[in-house]
Amino acid sequence: MALAELRDAIVRGDLPPGTAIRQSAAAEQLGLSVIPVREALKTLASEGMVSYQAQRGYTVAELRAESVDGVFRVRELLEAEAEAVAAARLRPQDIAAMGAALDAQRAATANGDAHAAITANRDFHFALLDRCDNEWLLRFVRQLWDALEPHRALAYRRTAVSGDRTRAQEILAILAQGDPEAALRVLAAHRTGGLADFHRLLSPRTG
């Protein structure tokens, strides 16, 4: 419970990057003892969603531009492999699941629900990625996605989400037509667009 609640609070943006997480306060708010909260924070630290420093405790992870570059570079290597295998194995029910996720993302965006939009976006991509049937590969891909979660809510609020949906719609249409090679090219461009979105997010804002 503690792990799910804290993760959701980070993804929703309730705990923005840089926010200190006091174990006693979090435990009181969740109606739990400190022990499960401490264990949850250790798990989130291993996933890269929070960081720990002696004497300071846990804070929601803050990413630097060079760190984002590193995450996306490794994502490119791992996801390209997973997508190449998965695209060739995609079934009609997987296409349907991707379409349902895209519909959910569209509805969430219209309602201004960043958390639901983020969840739907993740569901869209993993409906494809899961078809690679390589649990070790998927484990590392999920960890890379988790490392970006503290900033993803801010990214959805500040960047052009409509552009993100347009790319997803193109991916879905190409996969539905049975052209995996073209889909892989669009997926690679999709990641490049995502990296650009994060760089805009992390750049100093003026005006």
Give span(s): CATH 1.20.120.530, the chain.
Answer: 65-202
Q: pLDDT for 117-159, tens place per residue? A: 888 999 999 999 999 999 999 999 998 998 888 777 766 665 5
- Angle, nearest 10°, between helix axes 180-202 and 135-158? 50
CATH of 2-60, one of 1.10.10.10, 3.40.50.300, 1.10.3720.10, 3.40.33.10: 1.10.10.10
Dump pLDDT digits (tens) for 71-111: 999 999 999 999 999 999 999 999 999 999 999 998 988 88
In the chain, which residues fall in CATH 1.10.10.10? 2-60
Contact of 52 with 62, CB cutoff 8 Å:
no
Look up the pTM and report it: 0.81
Q: Tokens 């879905």 belong to which residue?
A: 172
Class of domain 65-202: mainly alpha
